[in-house]
Amino acid sequence: MGPGVAELEFEERPNEAFTVFAADKTEPGAFNYPFYRLFVDALSNTGLIVNESLAEGVIFNIMDVEEGKIAELSLWEDKPTIEAALMYPGRYVVSTINTKDGEPIVSASTDRLHNIAGTYVGKDDPICIIRTQKKFPATEEAGSVFNNPHYVAGNTRGSHNMPLMPVKINSAATIDYCIPIVEALVFSMHGGKLTGPFDGFSTADWDYIREIATKKALAMRSQGFIHPATLVPSELEYAEGYKARMTKLYEKMKPLKDKRSSSDRKESYEDPD
């Protein structure tokens, strides 16, 4: 299906700058954690303290991709609600982020292919655009939130959790269970003319981050098919093979001989403490 689509419409600043982050082998919710670090977590981004616009907070638009609904949530009053939504990136996905006065900062793709096709047809290859500098996050602030390779859904057959590895532009997906990857294309713009892209993850420090991602991937794969190495059942149900296995399991299930209800059994349980 190719990469996702994100679009921003804005009044160009005298010196405009933005970065495109393009991911492969994962889903749109893969950007939830980096967005949180960038706009909510001052331990990850000092700009939330020293930049007046960011310190005031931003507006998150978070989409429920299962129900096709969207919620507008404001920092800092809605911080716990934003955190509750971002806990489950398989369903709640950041769509856009704006300043309090309506300036667009972020646009991210939200399409999930299995919601469209009704079955697994490949991962979503999400993409996002982040405007940078001045009242927005600095370019290096936007890039640095990918320096802790967090676990995301996707990977081989779209059925696993693996770390998101920042890679150089035009890097191939590895054949070692195709670790999810993300590229950074850094642009500047003046008078409607683009300069770039600069390869944001091409410098030597990112080689070390890639090593961390590799170690985390090997650690997760050592768990085999046991969750959390694999996705939760509600996500795996889009895979026809898994659905067939579970149908056979349900057919073989029989009631317990002890007909007491689960509530009765809980009432008779004595806490050893």
What span, in angstroms and rounded, lies between the C-alpha atoms of 180 and 163? 7
Q: What's the token pair of residue 165?
A: 């590895």
Radius of gyration of the chain (CA): 21
Say what the pLDDT of residue 21 is: 97
Provide the strand spans (E) within 25-145.
Answer: 58-64, 69-74, 92-99, 104-108, 127-131
Say what the pLDDT of residue 232 is: 86
pLDDT in tens, 85-130: 999 999 999 999 999 999 999 999 987 554 444 444 445 689 999 9
Strand 181-190 and strand 165-166: the pairing is parallel
- Residue 258, Cβ neighbours under 10 Å: how many? 8
Closest CA to 59 of 97, 85, 6, 94: 97
What span, in angstroms and rounded, lies between the C-alpha atoms of 172 and 175? 9
Question: Model pTM?
Answer: 0.86
pLDDT at 2 over 70: no
Q: Where is average pLDDT lowest: 192-196, 197-201, 218-222?
A: 192-196
